[in-house]
Amino acid sequence: MSTPARKDPTDGHVSAFMAERPRLVGIAYRMLGDVSEAEDIAQEAYLRFAEVSLEEVDRPAAYLTTVTTRLAIDRLRAAQRRRESYVGEWIAEPVLDDPRSAPAPDESVLVAESVTLGFLRMLDSLGPTERAVFLLHEVFDLPHAEIARIVNRSEVACRKVASRARRSLEAHRSGRRQVDSAGEEAVLGAFASALRNGDIQGVLETLADDAVATSDGGGKVSAAIRPVRGAPRVARFMVGIARNAPEDWSAVPAWVNGEPAFLVHFGDHLDSVAVFGVAPGGIEHIHIVRNPDKLDALRGGYRLEL
């Protein structure tokens, strides 16, 4: 009689981890704005989890969340020091969205908004612990008592941190104003047509008065060192980029970080991505990422589950 196959003791760890993996990567990505760092942190969280007996872990999800958050806080502290010498504006690494992972209609709009490039830039105004507390409570809906254990703070302190973070962000944020998809497509279609024709007035008509264009070249390719502000300046800036581009440039529509975008190719080469925030008054912001190191996820078709 054959001996029954022994079950690998790590099977339970693997299944528990895989069930939580999208959320863990989501936490790490929102903390760092870096795909490879987020994936590395999730893998490190698994390795630590695999070393612990499942009998010692009451809630694997809570254990994995704690490890992931603490690793992300440590790495963000190191990253912030490196970013002090970054050339120009720092924008999070852009990623494609997976339509299947979009939040249900009854879920908080903040879940989807929390991956937009503009929102991640606002989060950069927070310290690592503040950022973690805010994300875990506001986006991932963890109670303050649990967050307190994760970040080694008292529950009262976490409530205060979350409140300060919320006020800080609201000071920079007027709220997410919804535009229906048809209106969004019409605005971006008009923008793309005017841009290709070198029509500054046509581009201007698609922009909100207070439009802002922010570029990230990382000192490796040409990009505006500071944000370009105001519709007239943004229109001239964007048309200038198009005029200086090779004749074989093309713009492929995509959905990036929760917002509509164009993947800009020079021939077969992905040169940059332009991500748009569209409001009833027109295009409010354009985030342009040209740093080649930040385009790997887009080139590889990586998709982030919200």
Question: 73 falls in which pLDDT band (50, 70, 90)?
Answer: very high
Looking at residue 199, its pLDDT comes to: 97
- Rounded to an integer, the average pLDDT of 265-280 is 95
Segment 25-67, tens digit of pLDDT: 999 999 999 999 999 999 999 999 999 998 889 899 999 999 9
- Rounded to an integer, the average pLDDT of 250-267 is 94
Question: 16 falls in which pLDDT band (50, 70, 90)?
Answer: very high
Looking at residue 173, its pLDDT comes to: 59
Residue 172 above 90 pLDDT?
no
Question: 98 falls in which pLDDT band (50, 70, 90)?
Answer: low
Average pLDDT score, the chain: 90
Residue 286 above 60 pLDDT?
yes
Rounded-to-integer distance, Cα 238 and Cα 213, Å = 9
User: CATH second-level architecture of 181-304?
Assistant: Roll (3.10)
Q: What percent of the chain has pLDDT over 70?
A: 90
Looking at residue 153, its pLDDT comes to: 92
Looking at residue 304, its pLDDT comes to: 85
3-state helix, strand and coil shares in percent for the chain, rounded to the nearest 5 = 50, 15, 30
Angle, helices 155-170 vs 144-151, to 10°: value is 100
Q: What residue ranges do the domains of the chain occupy?
A: 10-85, 181-304
Residue 89: CB atoms within 10 Å: 19
pTM (2 d.p.)? 0.90
- Residue 64 near residue 45, CB atoms below 8 Å: yes
Rounded-to-integer distance, Cα 194 and Cα 293, Å = 30
Question: 1 falls in which pLDDT band (50, 70, 90)?
Answer: very low
Residue 232 above 90 pLDDT?
yes
Residue 6 above 50 pLDDT?
no
DSSP single-letter state for residue 268:
T
SS3 of residue 272 by DSSP: strand
- For the domain made up of 10-85, the CATH class stated in words is mainly alpha
- Rounded to an integer, the average pLDDT of 259-278 is 96
Segment 101-138, tens digit of pLDDT: 555 554 566 777 889 999 999 999 889 999 999 999 98
Rounded-to-integer distance, Cα 65 and Cα 21, Å = 10
Tell me the C-alpha to C-alpha distance, in Å, between residue 159 and each of 65, 133, 166: 19, 9, 10
Looking at residue 162, its pLDDT comes to: 86
